[in-house]
Amino acid sequence: MLALVAAIALFSAANSQRIAAEEPFAPTAPEVMAAMIYNFALFIDWPTTESEAKQSPFVIGVFGEDPIGIFLENSAKVETLQRRRIQIRHLANVNDVKSCRILVVSQSQKKQLPEILDALRGEPILTVGDIDDFAQLGGMIAFKKEGSKIRFQINSDAATRVGLKISSKLLHLAIPAKTH
């Protein structure tokens, strides 16, 4: 939780130029979600592959029209993940998703969700989305709005099936998800 607060503070500082000094900062939902995605990566262990060079970027893919991407890009300019620079890729084709460690699936891709998840079957790629029933449909982390708060559900079965290990600290913060 402390890491989440720190990430939100980072976004606050990075975006301070748009906020007047006397105006209080209230992060938007996309800013909060971007901070959460960055923090999810801190609490997940991916299986290592021999072909993955330590110098290669940590790739976060954004599939579809998504306001989160710009805030992920801002974070990628100043942060690293697993001692690797972060690269944000805006994807338009389901065949391009396998190069990612994290795939953010936007609302605009709701109709394609089964095809996207099928293309990722067996791949150690963390899927994150704000689509209704995302976790129940096979996505790994689903954003949920509860009033003015952004919460998340975790489908730990989907993550475990592809070899991702989610920290108990992150699981503890999640809303319980019921899967089909």
Report the C-alpha gap between 168 and 180 in whole angstroms: 22
Helix locations, the chain, DSSP H: 2-14, 29-42, 68-78, 113-119, 156-161, 168-173
User: DSSP states of 94-121 as a string?
Assistant: GGGGGG-SEEEE-GGGGGGHHHHHHHTT
- pLDDT tens-digit series, residues 9-25: 444 444 433 333 445 56
For residue 148 the two structure tokens come to 């003015």
> Three-class SS of residue 68?
helix
What's the confidence (pLDDT) of residue 136? 93
What's the confidence (pLDDT) of residue 36? 94
What's the confidence (pLDDT) of residue 92? 84
pLDDT under 50: residue ranges of the chain: 1-22
CA gyration radius, the chain: 16
What's the confidence (pLDDT) of residue 178? 63
What's the confidence (pLDDT) of residue 11? 41
Contact 68, 33 (CB under 8 A): yes
What's the confidence (pLDDT) of residue 72? 87
Give the CATH fold of the 2-45+54-176 domain. Answer: Rossmann fold (3.40.50)
What's the confidence (pLDDT) of residue 125? 95
Q: Which of 1, 73, 60 is nearest to 30 (CA)?
A: 73
| pTM (two decimals) | 0.80
Domain ranges of the chain: 2-45+54-176
